[in-house]
Amino acid sequence: MGLFYRKEQKGNPAPPEVTPSTPTVLTDGTLTRIRDTITWARESVKNRVSFDVSIRTEEVCDAVEALLLRENDLRSGEEAYIVSQTVLDYLPNALMPYFGLPRETAETKFLSNGKTAEHVLCEQLDVLKNQIEKILDRLIQEDEAELIANAKFLTDRFEREAFELPSEDTFGIEISQTATLWENMGITRVETRPMLKRRRNTQTLHPGDEKR
């Protein structure tokens, strides 16, 4: 890839400076650098590269951002290292050489491997996206397992120990159908008007009262 790398070319700002490291946990500092690099990648491809490159770069960025929402669930160690390396190292090193090429050359000139630079970059971006999505898939599987376990717990608990109180509406509908049965059994409700609910110091005016 170094073949295409032209650091000084105008219009291609360098990615955020990265200190090579192999973090075993995603520290706040590392997370900030990852977010900065994602922002840089999105801005760098905007209106400057082919649709194929643009969409793949966006997909890598989307996958990383989805993963960052679950940063607390990322396993420290290998997965943290993969995320960090993918964004801070592999992604800039894939994009920067491409940016150094005239767009027409990148899209039309065949390299020794029979592929255009654009084609090579797209393959690299697909690999990076798949790498990130593998981690996402692992987290989703864990979510599903947790969801199923929780559902089982709730089912076991409530089916074994408790009845659920039907809603007021359910009560109303069911009971009203049996209200006549209860009346036939000699049981009826008596209207009560609790003192606490009564309006005080009010008078009912009847037609003509105001004339008296």
Partner 1 sequence: MSTVITKGGNFNITRYDNTMNNLTVALGWADTTKGKDQPLSIDSSIILLGSNEKVLSDDHFSLLSALNVQKNVTAYSKNSYRTKDRDAVNLDLTVIPNNIQKILFVVTIFDAISRGENFSHTTDVYIRIVNPKTNVEVVRYNMNEPESTATSMIIGELYKYNLDWKFRAVGQGYFSGIAGVAKDFGLKIQKK
Q: Which residues bind partner 1 (CB under 8 A)?
A: 158-159, 161-166, 168, 170-172, 175-176, 178-196, 198
Nearest to 50 by CA among 118, 111, 137, 136: 118
Least separation in angstroms between residue 39's CB and partner 1 is 43
80 φψ region: left (φ > 0), alpha (ψ -120 to 50), beta (else)? alpha
Nearer to partner 1, 9 or 170 (CB): 170
List beta partners, residue 110. 116
183 φψ region: left (φ > 0), alpha (ψ -120 to 50), beta (else)? alpha
Least separation in angstroms between residue 181's CB and partner 1 is 6
> Whose structure tokens read 């209207």?
191
Nearer to partner 1, 112 or 180 (CB): 180
Least separation in angstroms between residue 182's CB and partner 1 is 5
Least separation in angstroms between residue 148's CB and partner 1 is 20
Backbone angles phi and psi of 20, in degrees to 5: -55, 130
CA distance 60 to 88: 13
CA distance 40 to 55: 15
Nearer to partner 1, 25 or 179 (CB): 179
Nearer to partner 1, 43 or 174 (CB): 174
With contact defined as beta carbons under 8 Å apart, do 71 and 31 qualify? yes
Nearer to partner 1, 190 or 205 (CB): 190
Least separation in angstroms between residue 159's CB and partner 1 is 8
